[in-house]
């Protein structure tokens, strides 16, 4: 599989080193967060299990890269970055529960309810979600230096909570639950493909898109970006977020389960509505690549050097193996 | 059962009318919150089912009464009051899940996962918790008038999220899960009662106490109370919160299931550690009454008329039938 759109080859930007460095910085902060949660107790152990399971850290890195795109210190994005990664992790813990997707493996290790218990996994998710707002507001300067001012932190709570809740991620997950078995319940030949595609785009816009967009917006806001910059970055993130999901669906069809950390083909087995199921595999690849090209257009007003990470990440989204 | 401590009989304060009036005001705001959540969809229906199930609204009324205790407009407490009631409701939805307390009835009607599905109940809880922080920060002045300033709202997010999370309510629920069957696992005669009592107090301080204390603190802060006033009110709430739990345990032993909306004796059946189990029934009653007397002492610096609701609520806590 060599479907790169080669966005990074015309530069000397080393994305792999960039991701590694930013991941390490984020992980240090997340370890500090866990350290403050009384790491001896079972709840903190369950939180650590899932939060430190080696995720891609895509959302927090997007937040840092968006801060950098405005020419400012990327570390200003760290409070938002940590908050968003904690919310992302809680959503994975709850999505994996038996009553939801019922997954035993996540990122190659047992899911939280498998490693601990269902009750502990529910509570670990609840605690992560709650604490995502605590770290933005309860003495944030003791942990983050530099740190955005309180006025910005207040706006971060508003935008992040809205993206995560009933107008965003949670509603998307609800749609996803209702969509599972959609093609099973309906006679597939009678289903209007355009309607399905619109439904699927809406689902992903809510389930993953809103949190990816808010990652970029909150990173930029943390660095003091102006409204035009934030709007352009949000457009970038909207396209990148959808491309990410299309790529995810493609990986589910053809990915290596050892690399992905979960079984390939599980979407098809669950009769889940996906882009490859609706469009076919090759048209899905083309769709993802076009989205990435569209994502880069709004960035043309930024300093070329400052947006190298965002451009490279966009390429990585459709080129990744997991 | 006539165990009133008669705190209200020496005044002309009509607690019943007060509770009814404040409940109606709160319910109107909660209906507005649901209205904004696209009430046609399944997630909003599940939220409405649990949020409007006729709870006592103790926490939000405490917030309003605390604002009033400082001589200010109680309506300043409404953003915090709504936020806290939403968090309380989410915690009930998740606590009722099969993996947790596995309850079929709550407030006399089917629990959220019984009326909808387990997945929907998990997501409804997640959405309520998330939205509790949205209403404090996302354009709050469009809903609340009067409304505290952004600086106060920011502090409310910090204090409410901290009380609700891994340093508060969620950790308390975790301890409660681990404590169920405690007396079963240990030979009861060998268990040190003092240790058990300390454990039980700690559990309740976290599981219900922190949210009751933050209700009063956030109501007072919303009204612009000074630190000494907030500290005194927090002491009141700490004692009242524990008394509330002792009263709950007593009701579980002897309450009428039709009034309570759940089966009496369910704690004993689950071999749960309770105050009546550790102290006996009559000493538990004395303990609750003493706590209420201690709760009122820190209020002696306030204007007598302004604290009538808080005094009456303290009496109601140990005198209620459900």
3-class secondary structure per residue, chain B: CCCCCCCCCCCCCCHHHHHHHHHHHHHHHHHHHHHCCCCCCHHHHHHHHHHCCCCCCHHHHHHHHHHHHCCCCHHHHHHHHHHHHHHHHHHHHHHCCCCCCCCCEECCEECHHHHCCHHHHHHHHHHHHHHHHHHHHCCHHHCCCCCCCHHHHHHHHHHHHHHHCCCCHHHHHHHHHHHCCHHHHCCHHHCCHHHHHHHHHHHHHHHHHHHHHHHHHHHHHHCCCCHHHHHHHHHHHHHHHHHHHHHHHHHHHHCCHHHHCCCCCHHHHCCCCCHHHHHCHHHHHHHHHHHHHHHHHHHHHCCCCCCHHHHHHHHHHHHCCC
Distance from CA of B137 to the nearest CA of A (A): 5
Instruction: Determine the residue of chain B that is closest to A154 in CA distance.
Output: B154
Instruction: Report the pLDDT averaged over residues A281-302.
Output: 96
A-chain residues within 8 Å CB-CB of B125?
Answer: 126
Confidence check: pLDDT of A181 > 60: no
Q: What is the pLDDT of residue A4?
A: 41
Which residue from B minimizes the CA distance to A168? B127
- Residue A143's Cβ-count burial label (10 Å; 0-12, 13-18, 19+) is middle
Query: When comparing pLDDT for B159 and A262, which is higher?
Result: B159
CA of A219 vs chain B CAs: smallest distance (Å) = 18
Using the beta-carbon criterion (under 8 Å), do A161 and B134 form an inter-chain contact?
yes
Right CATH number for B15-319 from 1.20.810.10, 1.10.10.10, 1.10.600.10, 1.20.1290.10? 1.10.600.10
Strand, helix or coil for residue B253: helix
Shortest distance between the Cα of A167 and any Cα of chain B, in A, equals 7
Closest CA to A73 of A146, A163, A172, A173: A146
- Out of B138, B154, B171, the one facing A137 most closely (by C-beta) is B154
- Name the residue in chain A with its Cα closest to that of B132: A161
* Element of type H or E holding A237: helix A227-254
In this predicted structure, which of A184-188, A288-292, A317-321 has the lowest mean pLDDT? A184-188
Task: Give the pair of three-digit tokens for residue A278.
Answer: 């609706």
Distance between B8 CA and the closest CA of chain A, angstroms: 38
Q: Please tell me which of A126-130, A175-179, B104-108 the model is most confident about, judged by mean pLDDT.
A: A126-130
Q: For residue range A5-63, list pLDDT tens digits in order.
A: 444 444 579 999 999 999 999 999 999 999 999 878 999 999 999 999 988 999 999 99
Nearest CB neighbour to B119, from listed A38, A42, A100: A100
Which region among A41-45, B11-15, B101-105 has the lowest average model confidence (pLDDT)? Answer: B11-15
What are the structural domain ranges in chain A? Answer: 15-317
A51 to chain B: which residues are within 8 Å by CB?
none
Give the chain B residue whose CA is nearest to the CA of A93: B122
Residue of higher predicted confidence among B317 and B83? B83
Among candidates B100, B119, B137 on the partner chain, residue whose Cβ is nearest the Cβ of A119: B100
Residues of B in Cβ contact (< 8 Å) with A150: 151, 154
State the DSSP code for A71.
T
B-chain residue closest to A136, CA distance: B158
Contact across the interface for B174 and A42, Cβ inside 8 Å: yes
Q: Are strands B109-110 and A105-106 parallel, antiparallel or unpaired?
A: unpaired
pLDDT for residue A254: 81
Secondary structure (3-state) at A109: strand
**Residue B75 has what DSSP assignment?**
G
**A130, A137, A150 member nearest B129 (Cβ):** A130
User: Which chain A residue shows the shortest CA-CA distance from B155?
Assistant: A137
Q: Which of A99, A137, A151 sits opposite B161 (nearest CB)?
A: A137
Q: Beta A109-110 vs B109-110: how paired, if at all?
A: unpaired
B165:A100 CB<8 A: no
| Structure-block tokens of residue B187 | 């030979």
| Residues in chain B closer than 8 A to A174 (CB atoms) | 41-43, 120, 123
Asked if A91 and A65 touch (Cβ cutoff 8 Å), the reply is no
Task: Give the separation between CA A222 and CA A224, rounded to whole angstroms.
Answer: 5
Residues A35 and A93: their CA atoms lie apart, in Å, by 20
Please tell me the distance in Å from B90's CA to the nearest CA on chain A.
10
pLDDT of residue A189: 52
The answer to whether B117 contacts A129, with C-beta atoms less than 8 Å apart, is no
Q: Looking at the complex, report in whole angstroms how far the Cα of residue A161 sits from the nearest Cα belonging to chain B.
A: 6
pLDDT digits (tens, 9 = 90+) for B201-250: 999 999 999 999 999 999 999 999 999 999 999 999 999 999 999 999 99
Rg, C-alpha atoms of chain A: 19
Measured between CB atoms, which of B94, B133, B170 is closest to A161?
B133
Distance from CA of A296 to the nearest CA of B (A): 30
In this predicted structure, what is the pLDDT of residue A98?
A: 97
Tell me how close the Cα of B34 comes to any Cα of chain A, in angstroms.
Answer: 10
Confidence at B39, pLDDT banded by 50, 70, 90? confident
Spell out which residues of chain A touch residue B44, defining contact as CB-CB under 8 Å. 166
The predicted model gives A284-311 an average pLDDT of: 96
B154 to chain A: closest CA residue: A154
pLDDT in tens, A125-148: 999 999 999 999 999 999 999 999
Looking at beta carbons, which residues of chain B come within 8 Å of A138?
158-159, 161-162
Band of the pLDDT at A258, cuts 50, 70, 90? low
| Structural contact between residues A8 and A311, judged by C-beta atoms closer than 8 angstroms | yes
Q: Do A177 and B123 touch (CB under 8 A)?
A: yes
| Interchain contact, A137 vs B130, CB within 8 Å | no
Contacts of A165 in chain B (CB under 8 A): 126-127, 130-131, 134
CATH no. of A15-317:
1.10.600.10
pLDDT of residue A230: 98
Cβ contacts below 8 Å, chain A against chain B, sum to 145
Radius of gyration of chain B, Cα coordinates, nearest whole angstrom: 19
Contacts of B199 in chain A (CB under 8 A): none
CA distance A8 to B261: 63
Helix, strand, coil percentages (3-state) for chain B, rounded to 5, are 70, 0, 30
pLDDT of residue B267: 65
List CB contacts (< 8 A) between B155 and chain A. Answer: 137
The answer to whether the CB of A98 falls within 8 A of the CB of A118 is yes
What is residue B101's three-state secondary structure? coil
Say yes or no for a CB contact (<8 Å) between B134 and A173.
no
Peptide bond into B146 cis (omega under 30): yes
Average pLDDT over residues B165-174: 96
β-bridge partners, A110: A105
- Res. A225 pLDDT band, cuts 50 70 90: very high
In terms of Cβ atoms closer than 10 Å to its own Cβ (0-12, 13-18, 19+), residue A184 is exposed
Nearest 5°: the CA angle A197, A201, A205 is: 170
> Could you give the 3-state DSSP secondary structure of residue B109?
strand
Residue B271 confidence (pLDDT) above 90:
no
Q: What is B54-66 written as a DSSP string?
A: ----HHHHHHHHH
Q: B33's torsion region: left (phi>0), alpha (psi -120 to 50) or beta? A: alpha
| Residue among A122, A131, A151 whose CB faces B100 most closely | A122
Would the CB atoms of A42 and B134 count as touching at under 8 Å?
no
């Amino acid at each position: 599989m060599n479907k790169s759109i080669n966005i990074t080859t015309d530069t000397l930007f080393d994305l792999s080193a960039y991701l590694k460095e930013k991941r390490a910085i984020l992980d240090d902060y997340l370890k500090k967060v866990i350290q403050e949660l009384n790491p001896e107790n079972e709840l903190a152990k369950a939180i650590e299990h899932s939060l430190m399971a080696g995720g891609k850290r895509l959302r927090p890195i997007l937040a840092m890269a968006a801060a950098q795109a405005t020419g400012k210190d990327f570390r200003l994005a760290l409070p938002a970055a940590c908050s968003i990664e904690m919310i992302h992790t809680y959503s994975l813990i709850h999505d994996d529960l038996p009553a939801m997707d019922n997954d035993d493996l996540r990122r190659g290790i047992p899911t939280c309810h498998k490693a601990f218990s269902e009750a502990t996994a529910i509570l670990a998710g609840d605690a992560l979600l709650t604490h995502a707002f605590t770290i933005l507001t309860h003495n944030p300067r003791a942990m983050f230096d530099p740190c955005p001012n309180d006025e910005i932190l207040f706006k971060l709570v508003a935008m992040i909570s809205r993206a995560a809740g009933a107008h965003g991620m949670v509603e998307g997950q609800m749609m996803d639950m209702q969509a599972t078995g959609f093609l099973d319940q309906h006679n597939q030949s009678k289903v209007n493909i355009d309607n399905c595609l619109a439904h699927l785009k809406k689902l992903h816009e809510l389930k993953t898109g809103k949190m990816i967009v808010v990652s970029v917006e909150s990173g930029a806001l943390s660095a003091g970006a102006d409204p035009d910059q934030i709007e352009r970055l949000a457009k970038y993130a909207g396209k990148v977020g959808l491309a990410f999901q299309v790529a995810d669906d493609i990986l589910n069809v053809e990915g290596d389960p050892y690399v992905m950390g979960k079984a390939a083909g599980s979407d098809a087995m669950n009769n889940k509505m996906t882009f490859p199921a609706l469009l076919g595999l090759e048209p899905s690849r083309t769709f993802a690549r076009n989205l990435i090209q569209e994502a880069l257009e709004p960035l043309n007003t930024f300093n070329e050097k400052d947006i190298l990470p965002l451009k490279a990440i966009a390429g990585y989204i459709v080129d990744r193996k997991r």
